[in-house]
Structure 1
Amino acid sequence: MTTTGRRALLVAGAAAGASALAGCTSPSGEQPRRPSAAELEAERVARTEAALRLRSVTAARGLLERYDAALAAHPVLAPRLNPLRRAVAAHTKALGEGGTTVSPATTATASASPSASASTSPSASASGKPTASPTPVRVATDPGAALRELAAAERTASEGHTAALLTAPPEYARLLASVAASGAAHAYLLTEGAQA
């Protein structure tokens, strides 16, 4: 075969390949395929779950921040607070696992939601290591009052997780229920349980 014949063969092959690729794409005048109702519903559910996870993790991180502040202000409470803080750090991690990446628009929607936690500043990592907070948490100077403040924060977080059960998917709802029950137990241990 001559060089000219090879070139002609290569050009013909390239033209055939380009034609095949052009057939795979839609003509420029056609609209892209519209998603089905099931696909739209799946996307809505995923967005709702992502926003729910963001609110739950934000509440848990706010609680973790409160534990860190109480421990910094009252190191004498460390033997009592460290086990509870470790549990809250584990809850924070568990609540965020398996979640999808949340877009800034979803973040804004979640933080504007009435069921979002009052503490929207995620300042402690799920690993349990504190990070710098833009606004430090105020802690009572009296250790007993600091414990009562922590107990109130635990109750608030627990109530938020319980309220989220209404819209949570089944697997996540079970996790939220467990974390809410644990928060209620922590609140008891921080107040009434200490007097027993």
Structure 2
Amino acid sequence: MTTTGRRALLMAGAAAGATALVGCTDSSDGGSGTRRPSAAELEAERVARAEAALRLRSVTASRTLLERYDATLSAHPALASRLNPLRRSVAAHAKALGEGGTTASPTPTASAKTSATSSATATATASPVPVRVAADPRTALKELAAAERTTSDRHTTALLTAPSEYARLLASVAAAGAAHAYLLTEGAPA
């Protein structure tokens, strides 16, 4: 379990413990059974949602780059020996950044659940835009290198708001993206 995962688990446990303690106190709402979340619970939920949104943006950027690799490999199979190692690395980055719902967060409020559900549905139903790849292999490599730089820049920008462990991961992925861009343009002839 990663440190970020442990932190989210501890935050969720602390929120659950606080909820249990609050549930043991006398309710001033006349016994209706509803209570307002505490400021700490609201802040924990806000932090968890912000981190989940950051992870989603980071994974989306890496998945978009992975789609470009797939399109380039499909258009230029002769480049497979050069691109496959880089593609595998990008796929590993997407997974490490939180692909597949590995982000944990406290139980959201009803409005947050509705918003998250509608956002997830909109994302899942959006049809992917086909990636256009240049017919010339050298141009296709330059386009792929530009996509690597763009993704690396997005990960670098995300460092500003990322929790420390996730920021280190983003920094590593951004550095790898810069190295990929170099390898695609300067590292070896097409």
Per the normalisation by structure 1, the TM-score is 0.69
Aligned residue number for residue 54 of structure 1 = 56
From 159, 163, 177, the counterpart of 1:183: 177
Aligned residues: 155
Identity of aligned residues (%): 72
From 116, 133, 136, the counterpart of 1:139: 133
Aligned residue number for residue 87 of structure 2 = 85
Q: How does 1:121-140 map to 2 (within 5 A)?
A: 134-140=128-134
Residue 194 of structure 1 aligns with an amino acid whose one-letter code is: A
Structure-2 separation of matches of 1:122 and 1:181 = 32
Largest Rg, 1 or 2: 1
The change in CA–CA distance for 1:145 and 1:107 in structure 2 (over 3 A counts) is: farther
- Offset, 1:192: 1.4
- Offset, 1:33: 2.8
The change in CA–CA distance for 1:82 and 1:104 in structure 2 (over 3 A counts) is: farther
* Cα offsets for 1:48-78 (capped at 9, x unmatched): 0000011011111000000000000000000
The change in CA–CA distance for 1:192 and 1:82 in structure 2 (over 3 A counts) is: same
**Preserved contact between residue 69 and residue 137 of structure 1 (Cα < 8 Å):** yes
Aligned residue number for residue 192 of structure 1 = 186
Structure-2 separation of matches of 1:43 and 1:152 = 36
Residue 172 of structure 1 aligns with an amino acid whose one-letter code is: Y
Q: RMSD between aligned alpha carbons?
A: 3.1
Structure-1 separation of matches of 2:116 and 2:104 = 11
* Cα offsets for 1:18-44 (capped at 9, x unmatched): xxxxx9996974463322222211111
- Offset, 1:95: 0.6
- Offset, 1:179: 0.4
Per the normalisation by structure 2, the TM-score is 0.71
Aligned residue number for residue 70 of structure 1 = 72
The change in CA–CA distance for 1:53 and 1:72 in structure 2 (over 3 A counts) is: same
Aligned residue number for residue 35 of structure 1 = 37
Aligned residue number for residue 115 of structure 2 = 105
- Offset, 1:96: 1.1
Q: Any runs of at least 4 consecutive aligned residues in structure 1 with deviations exceeding 3 A, and if so which?
A: 23-31, 100-104, 106-110, 120-123
Aligned residue number for residue 13 of structure 1 = none
Higher RCO (CA-CA < 8 Å; seq separation 6+): 2
Give yes or no for the alignment of 1:149 onto 2:143. Answer: yes
